[in-house]
Structures are given as C-alpha cells and as structure tokens.
Amino acid sequence: MRTFSPLWLLLVSQLLVGCESLHFPWEKGAATVVPGTETVEASQPVGPGAQCPEPVAVVCAEPEVKVVERVIERRFEKVVEVPVAKDKLVLGAVETVSIEPGGLFLESVIDTGSATSTLSAQELTRFERDGKEWVRLKLAPPDSGAEADLTTVELPIKRHIRVARPGFESQRRPVVEMSLTVGEVTHMVEVNLTDRSGSDMPMRIGRNFLKDAAVVDVSRRNVQGEPKAPNTK
C-alpha cells in the first residue's frame, strides 16, 4: 500500500470539509504568527478558495449649500400726465405784461417760486394821504433811460412784507394792488415793490397771478405775445 505524505492528507481533508481558511506558507498574505507574541497579522486570503469581503455601501456626505438671499430694490420714476384745462394760459419763461395804473408793457419773468409778484421801480417814496400810508413810484418804459419818460404812479399800501435773499440784507417792502394782463387774462393781484433800478426784467409774475389761471412751459418765451386788455377785444 502506497503511503501518502501528511501534507497531502491535510489538503484532502480540508477540501472535503469545505474549509476556506487553509493557507500555505508560500501563499501571499498568509497569516504570520510570531512566537512569544499575541499579535497575529493576516491579509485577506487569495486564490480559488478565498472568500470575498462583504460589499460595503459608501454614502457620500452631501455638500453644504449656502443660500444667499439677494434683495434688489428697483425704483421707477412714475410719470403722471395731468390734463390742462382748455381755458388756462400756456406761458413761457418770459412774457410781456401790461400793468395798470401806468399803462406800460414790461418784459416779465414768470417765477413759479415766488408767492407774490414783484415790480422793480425807481424813487419809492412813502407818504400819508387821508390818514393812510401811500407810496409814490416811478416806472420807466422799456428801452428808455430819460428821466422825462418816467411814469409816476401813486398807490395805497395794503401791507408790508420782509424779503430775505441769500447774500443780501432782508428788505421791508410795501405791497400794493395792481391790475396785470398777460395775453387775454387780467387779474388784480398784490405786488411787492422794490427799488432795483437798471434791472433788465423789472417785473416778476408770481404764483398769486398764475394760480388756477396758467401753466408754464419754461422751454418757450413770449407765447402769448402782446397783452390784450378786456375792453379792446
């Protein structure tokens, strides 16, 4: 009877029992036991009888998402079209105004920033008549510098106002009533008087004449032309 070596017997026995942990010294990754120690290092077995490791599910962490709220504020300019009544005047930045008393035609600035109208006159003189305060003023026709051409006007003073201008001392001005005509519209309004000789524009039409009567187009001049008194239609 032929004798089998112990190594063959061990191999056959392991194959019969289905052991998958049999390792040979010459196989890579075989378990190594160091005498005198308790540490055993072993690699995964390789070869036909090696057992594959269980699959492990790898879950990747979701990246952190930062949500930044951006608020953009937009401002839109709202254009409102205001209808203009048909019976209102359309005035330019400069218009010719007829004043009474005096009967003069003066180039006037249309000043929406002034509450009352202003007239620049010469030789303002206050005096008393019948117990009331009056004022005497002289007006020069346009393009006339001769003293003989000056027109003298006397009017009762209704009240006084104090006007402050940047860079100038405040002035106490007399206020009188005058009839002003622009185009075909005539209004009796309050006019404050100031002594401002040599002014290119002796008259400034304020809001007390413009209110409820006219609209202003500052890009135009002399829209209404020469004034027309109500009795000369």
What is the model's pLDDT at position 89? 80
Q: Model confidence over 50-101: pLDDT tens digits?
A: 566 677 776 666 666 666 555 555 555 555 555 555 677 889 999 999 999 8
Q: Which residues contact 107 (CB under 8 A, 6 or more apart)?
A: 94, 95, 96, 97, 142, 200, 201, 202, 203
Q: Which domains does the chain show, CATH number per domain?
A: 9-61 (no CATH), 89-232 (2.40.70.10)
What is the model's pLDDT at position 31? 45
Q: Are 164 and 154 in contact (CB under 8 A)?
A: no
Q: What angle do CA 183, 185, 190 make, to 5 degrees?
A: 115
Q: Are 186 and 230 in contact (CB under 8 A)?
A: yes
pTM of the model: 0.58
Between 133 and 197, whose confidence is greater?
Answer: 133
Report residue 207's pLDDT band, with 50, 70 and 90 as the boundaries.
very high
